[in-house]
Structure 1
Amino acid sequence: MRVLLVEDDELIGAGIVSGLRKHGIAVHHVATAREAESTHMEESFQALVLDLGLPDRDGMDVLNSVRTMEPQLPVLILSARDAIEHKLKGLREGADDYMVKPFDLRELAARLHALVRRTQGRATQAIAAGPLRLEPESGLAWLDGDPVALSRREVDLLAHLADADGRWVSPDALNERLYGLGEEVSSNALNVHIHNIRRKLGADAIETARGLGYRLGWRTKA
């Protein structure tokens, strides 16, 4: 399991990283809301552990942002705010669980495992294409059986190409899938995503044809 931890106290963060590792949980630790949102966009995680008292913005802003981009991601709030009003607000805003500091690392690990099991129990349509296996809902991917870390948008891009079933997909259609119609998109954003996918999966992962667009380099298996 891979978890994103958002905790501005370096000592507490280091303790969580070390403690959860003993329970088979890999943790990526960031200290600000800005780092949390950029990291979440670039990499895939199975859960988010979120402090609310962040130095640049309130953690509830991060929760709302994550829920907009990835509604199914399990989120556990870990905060010193112990009033029942804070707990109720966190759960109403979309958190799946709420723990108050100080806490027991064994309980934190157990709750994370339970949240992820619950998520994995939901129906997930896996994509198999050549050496690639991709689970779009969870964001998990494997190449020749080995796990590969893909960002949320890299996963969405691959899933859209797989849905096209060998047909070429135009850059405009891909940008609309990745960003929607209302979001500002830099001119080279799509090229950056495709470059990163080819770097992680190999040059054959995505084919390009001038005037036609892109398609998955491997045919999907029935």
Structure 2
Amino acid sequence: MSATDPLFDAEPDDHADADGLLAGLNDEQLHAVTTDALPLAIKAGAGSGKTRVLTRRIAWRSLTGRNDPRRVLALTFTRKAASQLRSQLRVLGLRDQVAAGTFHSVAYAQLRTYWRERDQREPDLLNRKFGFITPLLPRDRRSTDVLDVVSEIEWAKARRIPPEAYAGRAEALGRTPPMAPSTIGRIYRGYEDLKAEKRMVDFDDLLDHCARALRGDRAFGDAQRWRFRHLYVDEF
């Protein structure tokens, strides 16, 4: 890792008041922020302050020496939520020390590092699936069913169901796709083949490719685990 990486050059704010981070928390929130239990899952309803507790916990553990903020990775699902996380952490005294982002953006950043360090050509990122999937549909269904087919393929990819297994799994799980499961499986297979031919990946591929790199390349996996030793997930 580069010695000039700003993520590693920053130092905690010496003037930050760790005890002040606990002000305004109720008893349950206070316990969630300060407990040394690991791993820790916080279950609470919408609007109960989970993100507030998460950012306070990151800041409090960092400012009391329990975490090195330069080794913290905070993940969430949307860019808006990631921006809010970073903003709240800066307000709490951590400036830009903590790496925070969406699952997909962090996976993409790690993959780009992986490809670059191994002199591998980086595939292009496919932002919209419609242009690839629409021509694979029957002509009389292209204008009416493409959105539903895209959603069904995304459902399968999120569960790591490959094209060849889609029909059986969809039927077993009681799915009601817009076309016959065998047809969806064929379209799904064609979509994956077209991406491979054009050296492209979609957002759904990023998590799977990153997981494979972390598990399959020991040096890369060890480097990422060394860099990010404290993991926090908002809205898991």
Higher relative contact order (CA 8 A, sep 6+): 2
TM-score by length of 1: 0.25
Higher strand share: 1
TM-score by length of 2: 0.24
Higher helix share: 2
Q: Which has the larger radius of gyration?
A: 2
